[in-house]
Amino acid sequence: MEKIKKITKMKLFLPVFSMLLVMLINVVYDIAAGNAPLGFFAISINNGILYGRLIDVLNRGSEVAILAIGMTLVVSASAGTDISVGSVMSLSGGLCCMLLAGYGMTNVSEYNVPLWVGMLAGIAIACVCGLFNGFLVAYMNIQPMVATLILWSAGRAIGLLLCNSNIVYVRVPSFQFFGGYCGIIPTPIIIAALCVAIAGSVLRLTALGTYIQSVGINKRASRISGFNSAKIILLCYVICGLCAGIAGLVATCRIYSADTNNIGLNMELDAILAVALGGNSLGGGKFNLAGSVIGAYTIQAITTTLYALGVSSAQAPVFKAIVVILIVVIQSEPVRAYFKKMSAKKEAVKA
């Protein structure tokens, strides 16, 4: 029992357990369908690129993994969520494609401006969106969900205006590369790995992670201790915007076009769920970036499993919402207090 308690108290217990549970469901489904029991883990090389359901999960979950980095910091610092990340993704991709294709163009095979200009503009506008959200939260003291609701509704609309409500196609190999393959490995997997590595290194090698957690635990005490709480919260929202911009460009390059109606649609729910599945409290404070990343890929594994079970894409968010509710309830103070009380009673009986 003592070993089980130690395991359940580990930081990565919840995300790892959730991932293993989803994998087990896939194994059971494959056995029931008469497929190979370990078909979910099978990886092969066809036409010079990696294939397999596990590769699909890592590939398709890259955008959520990138979003989870910024969302984790925002939740930790401000005890709130940024629900505008999906719309910011759309705006970032729309601006990038509009510049690359030229205003009013919908299908091009050569760049109107250099590739780096379009991508830099897409990332820059995403950072500006993060700056706007952060200003409202940190300096205007507006509730995070209310503050980010503005760009949740306006961001996608601005992207549609930039693209004249059209899908803008950029059919250039160098643009498609960022959503395609680097050798045999999908490029989005590499981009997500780099983002996670850079974020993890910065948080581990600098005091930024400590500052963020301190502000999230007690903003007033952090300010008295000499931390500029407002600037730290503002920085977290800018980082979240940056992550949304990168994820938006990956999603845009994946389909070599700016479909501003659908890019990033409902992905804010996935990012929030990834943070919750990572064992992070939605009330702010201490965070676990590794858990959020595992949670992000667990979400994609859940989505892949739902599709395999015949659940439509329109119905999938309902099941994700149920998972969010269950996790939030489990993490709530009354439930935690109840389990602590029950555990104390059992120990008293044994004594």
Q: Is the pLDDT of residue 319 over 90?
A: no
Q: What gap in Å lies between CA 281 and CA 294, rounded to an integer?
A: 15
DSSP 201-219: HHHHHSSHHHHHHHHHH-H
Q: Is the pLDDT of residue 350 over 70?
A: no
Measured CA angle at 56 (ends 73, 306), to 5 deg = 85
Q: Is the pLDDT of residue 315 over 90?
A: no
- Which amino acid, one-letter code, is at 318? V
Write down the pLDDT at residue 132.
97
Q: Encode pLDDT of 44-58 as tens digits.
A: 998 889 988 899 999
- For the ranges 87-91, 194-198, 218-222, the lowest mean pLDDT is seen at 218-222
As a whole number, the mean pLDDT across the chain is 88
Q: Is the pLDDT of residue 303 over 90?
A: no
Per-residue pLDDT, averaged over 103-120, amounts to 93
Task: Say if residues 260 and 154 touch (Cβ distance below 8 Å).
Answer: no
- Which residue, chain included where needed, has tokens 């643009």? 175
> Per the structure block, which two tokens stand in for 82?
């940024």
**Range with top average pLDDT, 27-31, 203-207, 338-342:** 203-207
> Per the structure block, which two tokens stand in for 73?
């910091």
How many CA atoms are closer than 13 Å to the CA of 237, on its beta-carbon side? 29
Q: Is the pLDDT of residue 123 over 90?
A: yes
First to last CA, the chain: 15
Q: Is the pLDDT of residue 86 over 80?
A: yes
Cβ-in-10-Å burial (0-12, 13-18, 19+) of 48 comes to exposed
* Helix/strand/coil (H/E/C) assignment for every residue in 223-239: HHCCCCHHHHHHHHHHH
Q: Kindly report the number of other CB atoms within 10 A of residue 275's CB atom.
A: 31
- Which amino acid, one-letter code, is at 124? A
Confidence of residue 351 (pLDDT cuts 50, 70, 90): low
Q: Is the pLDDT of residue 234 over 90?
A: yes
Q: What gap in Å lies between CA 308 and CA 99, rounded to an integer?
A: 38
Q: Which residues contact 303 (CB under 8 A, 6 or more apart)?
A: 60, 316, 320
Confidence of residue 243 (pLDDT cuts 50, 70, 90): very high
Q: What is the CA radius of gyration of the chain?
A: 21
DSSP 168-204: EEE--HHHHGGGSEETTEEHHHHHHHHHHHHHHHHHH
Per-residue pLDDT, averaged over 213-234, amounts to 86
Confidence of residue 135 (pLDDT cuts 50, 70, 90): very high
Confidence of residue 316 (pLDDT cuts 50, 70, 90): confident
Per-residue pLDDT, averaged over 170-178, amounts to 93
Write down the pLDDT at residue 60.
93
Domain ranges of the chain: 55-350
Confidence of residue 2 (pLDDT cuts 50, 70, 90): low
Per-residue pLDDT, averaged over 98-119, amounts to 93
Q: Is the pLDDT of residue 105 over 80?
A: yes
Nearest to 72 by CA among 263, 293, 228: 293
Per-residue pLDDT, averaged over 2-28, amounts to 79
> Per the structure block, which two tokens stand in for 30?
């494959």
Task: Say if residues 187 and 181 touch (Cβ distance below 8 Å).
Answer: yes
Could you give the percent of the chain with pLDDT greater than 90? Answer: 57
Per-residue pLDDT, averaged over 165-177, amounts to 92
Q: Is the pLDDT of residue 1 over 80?
A: no
Q: Which residues contact 134 (CB under 8 A, 6 or more apart)?
A: 233, 234, 235, 236, 237, 238
Write down the pLDDT at residue 332.
67
Write down the pLDDT at residue 253.
95
Strand partners for 49: 46
Q: Encode pLDDT of 148-164 as tens digits.
A: 999 999 999 999 999 98
Consecutive H or E run containing 16: helix 13-32
DSSP 60-98: HTHHHHHHHHHHHHHHHHHSS--TTHHHHHHHHHHHHHH
- For the ranges 26-40, 99-113, 317-331, the lowest mean pLDDT is seen at 317-331
Question: For domain 55-350, is the CATH number 1.10.3470?
Answer: yes
The model's pTM:
0.91
- Which residue, chain included where needed, has tokens 């659940």? 311
Write down the pLDDT at residue 59.
95
Q: What gap in Å lies between CA 72 and CA 239, rounded to an integer?
A: 10
Confidence of residue 344 (pLDDT cuts 50, 70, 90): confident
> Per the structure block, which two tokens stand in for 134?
């952060």
